[in-house]
Structure 1
Amino acid sequence: MYDTINLDGFSQIFYSNNMVQEKYQPRPDDKLGKIPTASKENIIQNKSEISHVENSPVGTNNTPSDENYPFHDYSGNSEEEEFVYTPKLGSQSKKLLRVLVMVITFIAILVPLIYLLTKLKPGDGKNIGVSGEIVWWGLGYTKDVVQPLIDEYVKENPNSKITFIEESPTDYRERLANSLSQGKGPDVLTIHNSWVPMFREALDIMPREFMTYDDFARTYYPVAVGDLTTGSGIVGVPLEYDGLTLYINESIFSTAGKIPPRTWDQFRQLAGELTTRNDKGIIIQSGSSVGITQNVDYWPEIVGLLMYQNKANLYKPAGTDAAQAEEAISFYSDFSAFDKVWDTTLPRSTEAFAEGKVAMYFGPARAIDTINKFNRNLNFKTIPIPQVRRNDPTEPDVSYASYWVEGVWNKSADKELAWDLLKFLSQPESLEKMFNNSAKAGVIGKPYPRIDMRDKLINDAVLGSIVALAPNAKSWYLAGGTNDGATGLNSLLAEVYKKGVDTLVATKNRKAAKNVVETISSEAEKVYAKFGIGPR
């Protein structure tokens, strides 16, 4: 008895009880139409041939020739029956089917995705952009300046809600500190560049997604990088730059035929020459509003500037550079003690300058708004800060920075939104829009904080002198007009220096400068210790 025999892949013959059944599997080159029917006689006749095929060694070539091919008609019967071929589903067909299913599935997923990406624009859906709700306490910006930018941001991020609160400068630092300590926020807060030690524990560290340290250092002036970098990272973003500059009354200079000063020696001479008194000896026009602490706005910055330019050590004035500190503080007090160009009978310096009573006045860019409130018709401009005489002409000119920055509360529930808003506002396009919005609102635009935007203002009659010296500006915790309260860093340190300056003015004794500096140094050390401040 024969069971399955494979004849070269073309047929399977099943032999049982002298019967053979054939299952035809075609070769690719077969031309099939009809196939002869095998009779019993020719099956028996070829039994020996089949046996021969079965018993042949494995691997030998037993392919039959055309003459004895198994499907020839051995019976001679001319009758033919119809053969219908039904192909067997092989592995290749299965693979093809699987590929087809995968393609259809991929298309079903891809088409809706393409539609969403190409058709759905910002503002069309509810899941676009950064989401959350934050409150921003802003100081120095009016709502009509920043609200258009906020609206623009919310349009691109429809799931965000941003509330801007225009804060009053009165007791601002104390109110802010209390609100944060009570866990009430705000999420975004404005602080002075010198306030980082006071708010260090409440400020969030700038994420790398916002900007890396290297990018920050390339984008902003070195003074901002130094002020805003802590041991943990960067804690704020400046939307402005500001610092001391020298305002001059052009009408007074023109009438007197004077040229603006470039050095402190020239400045001192001009301050005396441009000061006039009435017949009772009362000052009616001051050459410059410097020399005392009582009614001179920004006097702490002026003293700090003189200390830096004279290479004194502001962290420890009585150290190895004590002589430089003594000379700087004495130089400032001399304008009142000996030169008598300014005294307490005059209004506050910003107001006096606005009224046309001062030829030269020191102040930051933000003082312009105050000046304009008193007198919009004042004929003035600004020039770079005077410099001390130097033996090395290659040394850069030094100015003193005093500006405001934005930070993020580290306990905010929506810090991602807060940082993303600041990233949007800190872009050049946004800064220009805020600058232009300020002009529309009738206030001075903030000098740009970015190095790559310096050239936009370098020729400005008022702001040009500020950004001109920004690359080499210095800063310290001596800052006036910050409203940090009686217990604030600025107020405590200013009080230490105030006692020293007032002593020199009252005694008119330059020899007392040594003791004054030693006292300042020891008292200032206590202030620094309170806020965890070390040398720079």
Structure 2
Amino acid sequence: MLRKITKFSIFASIFLFLISAGFSCKIQTPAIKEAMKPVSLEFWGVFDNSSDYSGVLSAYKILHPNISVKYKKFRYEEYKQKLLEAFAEGEGPDIFSIHNTWIGEYRDKIEPMPASVKMPFQETKGSIKKEVITTIKTVPSLTLLQLKNDFVETVYEDCVLDEKGKKEIVCLPFSMDALALFYNRDIMNAAAIPEVPKTWSEFQEAVKKITKYDSSGEIAQSAAALGEANIERGLDILSLLMMQNGAKMEDNGRVLFNMPVGQENLPAQAGFVPGLEAFKFYKAFSDPSKEVYTWNKNMPNSMDAFIQGRIAFFFGYSYHMPIIKARSPKLNFAIAPAPQISLEAPQAVNIGNYWAQVVSDKSKNKGIAWNFIQFAAANPKVADLYLKIAKKPTALRGLINEQLNNMEIAPFASEVLTAKSWYGGKDAGAMEEIFSDMVSSVGMGAEDKEYQMALNEAAKKIGQTY
């Protein structure tokens, strides 16, 4: 009898202690037990470091303590091969990053965003007697309207695909980038150019003032890297010029940058071809017979030349900034928005470049993976945790004004609303090579028909990648 009383007293003491400590135990249903099982999501990417996601992952862990997200960084050169090998074995990541020009290539490996996801949540209730209650909630996903209203324009255009008459969201970016103009302050000061060019006409005049030639006619001081294939992101610069000039790059799988404006459904013929005029404008900077001659194919990589202080202007993205600072800490440079054809145009045109997150169709936790992507991408407070560490421009409209006050990010953030991209085929690498070959194929003093032939050939080959 004494033993029974003693055992009862012990249990009673433990029960009273738990109450006094403010805890309460609840019997969980089988469904809640299943939902609260540990889940580990694998997230693959390039360029970003694990530390860039530290704030986001901590915030998600607080909300969903049973879910762990493990980020793995790969070298860009190996990334596609690693994905290919993993998918071939029926494995791979739950979430992986793809460049915005790779969406078509990976479409058949992507799981579209579901309409909703059932997620477990733990909440502490009560004032004196605190209870940790676990509930399962149906969390609605982003709607198409929310995506269009909350994110910059190009996200909707790129990440919403029409599948058999049904529009589906297949990816979301954590950031957005746009091509901007880096400039060397010392070179501009020496040339007595007080303000950075805002239009391409002003850019041409600056190039003429800065460029110097030696006694043999060789370039002694270059102003900018344009007109050849040995240029960092030359494809984007030429695409930007084409789009600003009114070229329709592609439409529903048809490549159209070689066509006359308003006549995209007709064969190429005489008339205003905006892509052609932009191509000629671009090539003039590498033509010794032109006033703006400032670059040639024998010169070094454009970014290397800028880092070494050999050119005044470099077209790049926000990700180039830390590279330039690390390699040339004393370089006196600044960044401005990319030039426009006219400041009086109804809307500026810029070019976007970004990575978006997708869910693998082989993931065993597709819904949870999409829940994490939406948590990190669509919630401004959470998204800002990543952006401030990674130092990247935002893809969310609601964070743009804040970033306009950041001196380093402002030039890029000011462009994201009007940033566009165009390639929707299945081989972005081949597309870039075709563009590069097109640029190299047209020599000095070429006539319009030669430019048109090069454009037609490139458009035809790129069309075959869709």
Match of 1:459 among 402, 405, 412: 405
Match of 2:320 among 342, 345, 367: 367
Match of 2:201 among 253, 262, 265: 265
Q: 1:128 to 1:429 in 2, by over 3 A?
A: farther
CA distance in 2, matches of 1:249, 1:117: 65
Match of residue 320 from structure 1: 260
TM-fit CA distance, 1:130: 8.1
TM-fit CA distance, 1:318: 3.4
Q: Does residue 156 of structure 2 align to residue 219 of structure 1?
A: no
- The one-letter amino acid of 2:417's match is P
Looking at secondary structure, tell me which structure has more strand per residue.
Answer: 2
More divergent stretch after superposition (297-306 vs 381-390): 381-390
Preserved CA contact (<8 Å) 1:276 1:285: yes
Preserved CA contact (<8 Å) 1:292 1:505: no
Corresponding residue SS for 2:181: strand
Write the deviation string for residues 247-266 of structure 1: whole angstroms up to 9, x where unpaired: 11122222222121121111
- The one-letter amino acid of 1:336's match is S
Match of 1:472 among 393, 418, 437: 418
Q: Does residue 178 of structure 2 align to residue 238 of structure 1?
A: no
Match of 1:450 among 387, 396, 418: 396
Write the deviation string for residues 161-213 of structure 1: whole angstroms up to 9, x where unpaired: 32210111113224323422432121110101111100111111112323111
Preserved CA contact (<8 Å) 1:291 1:334: yes
TM-fit CA distance, 1:499: 2.4
Higher relative contact order (CA 8 A, sep 6+): 2
More divergent stretch after superposition (184-193 vs 252-261): 252-261
Match of residue 433 from structure 1: 385
Match of residue 358 from structure 1: 311
TM-fit CA distance, 1:425: 1.6
CA distance in 2, matches of 1:461, 1:278: 38
Match of 2:334 among 353, 378, 381: 381
Write the deviation string for residues 139-172 of structure 1: whole angstroms up to 9, x where unpaired: 2211122134324422432222322101111132
CA distance in 2, matches of 1:436, 1:130: 32
TM-fit CA distance, 1:129: 6.4
Corresponding residue SS for 1:137: strand
Match of 1:173 among 59, 67, 80: 80
CA distance in 2, matches of 1:219, 1:118: 41
Write the deviation string for residues 254-282 of structure 1: whole angstroms up to 9, x where unpaired: 22221211211111121122123445544
Match of residue 283 from structure 1: 219
Write the deviation string for residues 209-245 of structure 1: whole angstroms up to 9, x where unpaired: 2311111111101111101111140111110010111
Query: Gaps (5+ residues) in structure 2?
Result: 1-18, 116-139, 250-254, 262-271
CA distance in 1, matches of 2:455, 2:397: 36
Corresponding residue SS for 1:459: coil
CA distance in 2, matches of 1:399, 1:301: 10
TM-fit CA distance, 1:516: 1.8
Corresponding residue SS for 2:258: coil
CA distance in 2, matches of 1:118, 1:381: 60
- The one-letter amino acid of 1:223's match is T
Write the deviation string for residues 45-73 of structure 1: whole angstroms up to 9, x where unpaired: xxxxxxxxxxxxxxxxxxxxxxxxxxxxx
- The one-letter amino acid of 1:472's match is T
Preserved CA contact (<8 Å) 1:131 1:417: no
TM-score, with structure 1 as normaliser: 0.68
CA distance in 1, matches of 2:73, 2:369: 17
CA distance in 2, matches of 1:126, 1:146: 29
TM-fit CA distance, 1:355: 1.7
Match of residue 311 from structure 1: 246
Name the % identity.
24
Q: Does residue 43 of structure 2 align to residue 136 of structure 1?
A: yes
Match of residue 159 from structure 2: 228
CA distance in 2, matches of 1:373, 1:119: 55
CA distance in 2, matches of 1:222, 1:198: 22
CA distance in 2, matches of 1:365, 1:137: 21
Q: Does residue 357 of structure 2 align to residue 406 of structure 1?
A: yes
CA distance in 2, matches of 1:130, 1:225: 35
CA distance in 2, matches of 1:387, 1:249: 19
Match of residue 184 from structure 1: 91
TM-score, with structure 2 as normaliser: 0.78
CA distance in 2, matches of 1:126, 1:255: 71
Corresponding residue SS for 2:97: strand
- The one-letter amino acid of 2:40's match is E
Corresponding residue SS for 1:230: strand
Write the deviation string for residues 434-471 of structure 1: whole angstroms up to 9, x where unpaired: 23333xxxxxx011110000001113333212221222
Write the deviation string for residues 380-426 of structure 1: whole angstroms up to 9, x where unpaired: 22112111148xx3510100011111111122001122122222222
Greater Rg over alpha carbons, structure: 1
CA distance in 2, matches of 1:364, 1:499: 23
> What is the alpha-carbon root mean square deviation over aligned residues?
2.7
Match of residue 370 from structure 2: 419
Q: 1:283 to 1:374 in 2, by over 3 A?
A: farther
CA distance in 2, matches of 1:130, 1:296: 51
CA distance in 2, matches of 1:152, 1:518: 51
- The one-letter amino acid of 2:441's match is T
Corresponding residue SS for 1:416: helix
